[in-house]
Amino acid sequence: MGAGPAGLVLSHLLYLQGIDSVVVENRSRQYVEDRVRAGVLEQGTVDLLTEMGVGERMKSEGLIHYGIELRFEGRGHRIDFRDLTGGKGIMIYAQHEVLKDLNNARLATGGQVYFEVENVSVHDFNDAYPKIRYRKDGSDHELTCDFIAGCDGFHGICRPSIPEGVLTEYERVYPFGWLGILAEAPPSSDELVYTYHDRGFALLSMRTPHISRLYLQCDPNENIDEWSNDRIWQELHTRLASEGWRLTEGPIVQKGVTGMRSFVVEPMQYGNLFLAGDSAHIVPPTGAKGLNLAVADVQVLARALERFYTTGKRCQLNKYSHNCLRRVWKVQRFSGWMTSMLHRFPGEDPFDQRRQLAELDYVTNSRAAAQTLAENYVGLPLT
């Protein structure tokens, strides 16, 4: 269920193992492939996409980064991933480009990806033959399968289809959001810049050598109409200011506000229904983990399914949730830590601010602390 990163990676991994799958998605292919989302791939995600044979365009168009900058009190401090992790890095390559590559690979190998389906529902996932019902091109269909993977996102139908009382939800909603823009401007820095500023967090990111992606901490209910392009650039200049450095402006081609939350559901499975990606967990974007976590889930699921189909044993499937959640909670920890270190919180006092600055000072001056950041940022091992 769902043709996002989790659903498409899972479907293609299963294909490579000789296991049939059908992907059902309620949006159009165009919508999925155009929607601006994340843009940072962990080393493990890059390696997996490459092994799957869908890494060619990523290799030629993606930007490899071996560090990030933490900027505070007007000065930048580099965290050197290559040095701190034994050679690992990250890849800047937009999520919707990954989805285009995956869709093309699925279609080129006879994959069944159904877009624009309506009235989707899942049934009997506690039995041997779970069913998916949906409407497509005006007629109703029922699909009988061995397993259903709920890769349909936070607002999808799979999680709410699990009977009441089975799942426990853990949630934290942050009292701020991010105002994000995409600008036709060459990135003003070679690497991502995470900035702590009196007026709130700011992030300089990028998509290509010609397109910048920039974010400002804002009110979660911020009205984007109150942010003219001039106001956005002025605020970015103020928060990102650093001696001897200048922010390059360009036409803003997209802008929007997103809320921030941490969310985990336990367990991530019920009978023959397995939740993966945003349907099971949401992380705040600080640290860029959402897509990578989704890909890690389905890697675990694909291995468990392969074990089942080759040996008939369910042991790995039974451990799916347990194995994923160990990693999920560590990534929640990291994303929450990055968020709390870099944002201004309503109601905080000067004590809190000094503690945040001490944290940044420590992270950028202690090799042990910098290594902790680096090993999490490039990605923890799968299990």
Name the CA dihedral angle for 144, 276, 259, 200, rounded to a multiple of 10 degrees: -160
Applying CB under 6 A, does 185 fall inside the site for ligand PHB? no
Is 285 noted as a catalytic residue in this protein? yes
Applying CB under 6 A, does 286 fall inside the site for ligand PHB? yes
The partner residues of 205 in beta bridges, in order of sequence, read: 213
Applying CB under 6 A, does 305 fall inside the site for ligand PHB? no
Enter the tokens of residue 347: 């109601």
Question: Which of 5, 62, 285, 379 is close enough to bind ligand PHB by CB under 6 A?
Answer: 285
CB of 40 to ligand PHB, least distance (A): 5
Non-local (6+) Cβ contacts of 139 within 8 A are: none
Question: Which of 288, 294, 296, 331 is close enough to bind ligand PHB by CB under 6 A?
Answer: 288
Catalytic residue, candidates 12, 96, 197, 289: 289
Applying CB under 6 A, does 287 fall inside the site for ligand PHB? yes
Q: What is the DSSP string of 192-203?
A: -EEEE-TT--EE
Residues found in the chain: 383
How many beta carbons lie within 10 A of that of residue 323, not counting itself? 20
3-state secondary structure (DSSP) of residue 91: strand
Is 196 noted as a catalytic residue in this protein? no
The partner residues of 305 in beta bridges, in order of sequence, read: none
**Interaction with ligand PHB in 342-371: which residues (CB under 6 A)?**
none
Catalytic residue, candidates 5, 12, 15, 65: 65
Question: Which of 12, 71, 106, 213 is close enough to bind ligand PHB by CB under 6 A?
Answer: 213
d(CA 306, CA 21): 13
Please state, in angstroms and as integers, the Cα–Cα distance from residue 89 to each residue in 72, 85, 298, 365, following that order: 23, 8, 22, 20
Applying CB under 6 A, does 205 fall inside the site for ligand PHB? yes
Catalytic residue, candidates 66, 194, 215, 320: 194
Name the CA dihedral angle for 37, 43, 44, 48, rounded to a multiple of 10 degrees: 80
Which positions from 16 to 55 touch ligand PHB by CB under 6 A, shown as an x/- string? ----------------------xxx---------------
Question: Which part of the chain contacts ligand PHB (CB under 6 A), choosing from 242-250, 252-260, 280-288, 342-350?
Answer: 280-288
Is 289 noted as a catalytic residue in this protein? yes
Q: Which residues are catalytic?
A: 65, 194, 285, 289, 377
